[in-house]
Amino acid sequence: MGSHLCEALVESGAGVRVMDNFSSGRVSNLAGIEDRLELFDGSVEDASMVKNACRGVDAVVHAAFPMSMRERSMETSVVVDYLAGLFNLLKEAIANHALFVFISSIAVYGDQKYVPVDENHPLEPVMLHGAMKLSGEFLCRALANSHGLKAIILRVADIYGPRNTRISVPVRFLINALQGVPLRVFGSGRQARTYTYVDDFVRAVLSALQTPSAAGMVLNIAGDQAISLYDLALLVKEVTGSDSQVILEENVAADDRRLVIDGTLAKNVLKLGRSVTIREGLIKMRDWLLQNPDFYFGGVPS
């Protein structure tokens, strides 16, 4: 996410500073633009480094999140460090009168009460990941009220695309299909997701940075389509031409939610236009995997 955003910002002519401890990201993801940005190799938990990185900025985009928490870590230190880092950035955004773009997640909604899920849906996260994102949203709102923070909250649906360290379901299916191994679908296969191709995420953030009137708003960022996991597996087979078998493992416990996300408000406010379709996104990701066969462990056929 971060490297794609940096590329777009640099190309737009913006001055860019990056802070990353590279616990999950890679310096190599910035290849080709590293001499056009300032890199702070460190953690947002370092208040002094955050102060230096934020000095004089017009906007802060907070996309940092510990990968271990996505993997359901229960380490107290991970929670403490995440909140400390977020608060460091919030304080400096306020001190610099900078716009704060908080990258939240649809995980804040928890189990869907109705579909499609819009921004008014109840907030009842069922995972620590969602609870921590929601705590970040509440901090943004509280500091907007108490200290005049200008914040835009973007609740992003499942992202996939090149260079994503986290292997999401579309990427896992593509890797398996290219390797000729079975595509395993746990549960009924009817569970559905709205996915977001990384290019759509980048366009949304760029537009948010250029739409100061959106300050104070909460916006869902999502593709235009939802797809069941079973249909996703079939589509991956189609775009790869793979002979991999799709195996439906109905006896395996699975998340059966239908997270169909409504991104209409963001499209109207940020004037985003048409999203990358699932087919288009899978083809883009397929081509990148073939060009970068060793990025993920195990690789794919070249």
In whole angstroms, what is the distance from residue 202 CA to residue 162 CA? 13
- Is the model's pLDDT at 32 over the cut of 70? yes
Predicted local confidence at residue 251, as pLDDT = 76
Average pLDDT over residues 15-40: 92
Q: What is the pLDDT of residues 85-140, one digit of tens each?
A: 999 999 999 999 999 999 999 999 999 999 999 999 999 999 899 999 999 999 99
The secondary structure of residue 211, as a DSSP letter, is -
Average pLDDT over residues 63-77: 74
Predicted local confidence at residue 142, as pLDDT = 98
In whole angstroms, what is the distance from residue 302 CA to residue 292 CA? 8
Q: Which of 88, 85, 87, 93 is nearest to 58 (CA)?
A: 93
Predicted local confidence at residue 299, as pLDDT = 62
Average pLDDT over residues 263-286: 97
Q: Which of 287, 277, 296 is nearest to 235 (CA)?
A: 277
The secondary structure of residue 97, as a DSSP letter, is T
Cβ-contact 155, 221 below 8 angstroms: yes
Domains along the chain with CATH numbers: 2-165+194-223+260-272 (3.40.50.720)
Predicted local confidence at residue 116, as pLDDT = 95
Q: What is the mean pLDDT of the chain?
A: 93
- Is the model's pLDDT at 27 over the cut of 80? yes
Average pLDDT over residues 272-283: 96
Predicted local confidence at residue 12, as pLDDT = 95
